[in-house]
Amino acid sequence: MSSAVAQTIYSPEEYLYLERKSTFKNECLSGKILAMSGASRAHNFITLDIATEINIQLRDRDCEVFSGDMRIKEKQSDSYFYPDVVIACGEPLFEDDVFDTLLNPVIIMEVLSPSTEIYDRTEKFEYYKQIATLKEYILVSQDKVHVEHHRIQGTQWRLEEYQALQDTLTLSSIGCKLPLSDVYRRVNFD
Whether residue 150 has pLDDT greater than 70: yes
Is 2 among the domain residues? no
Is 24 among the domain residues? no
Is 31 among the domain residues? no
How confident is the model at residue 1, as a pLDDT?
A: 46
Per the structure, the count of domains in the chain is 1
The CATH number of whichever domain residue 158 belongs to comes to 3.90.1570.10
Task: Output DSSP code: residue 24.
Answer: S
Is 114 among the domain residues? yes
pLDDT tens digit sequence for 106-128: 999 999 998 889 999 999 999 99
Mean pLDDT across the chain, nearest whole number? 94
Alpha helices in the chain (DSSP H): 12-21, 41-57, 117-121, 123-128, 180-183
How confident is the model at residue 115, as a pLDDT?
A: 87
Domain around 104: 39-183
Q: Are strands 32-35 and 63-67 parallel, antiparallel or unpaired?
A: unpaired
Cα(7)–Cα(30) distance, rounded to whole angstroms? Answer: 12
Is 6 among the domain residues? no
Is 61 among the domain residues? yes
Better pLDDT: 36 or 152: 152
Q: 110 near 117, Cβ under 8 Å? A: no
Global pTM?
A: 0.93
pLDDT-derived band of residue 6, with 50, 70 and 90 as boundaries? low
Is 108 among the domain residues? yes
Is 11 among the domain residues? no
pLDDT tens digit sequence for 52-79: 999 999 999 999 999 989 999 999 999 9
Better pLDDT: 190 or 140: 140
C-alpha neighbours within 13 Å on the C-beta side of residue 135: 12
Cα(41)–Cα(85) distance, rounded to whole angstroms? Answer: 16
Closest among 137, 7, 151, 132 to 75, alpha carbons compared: 132
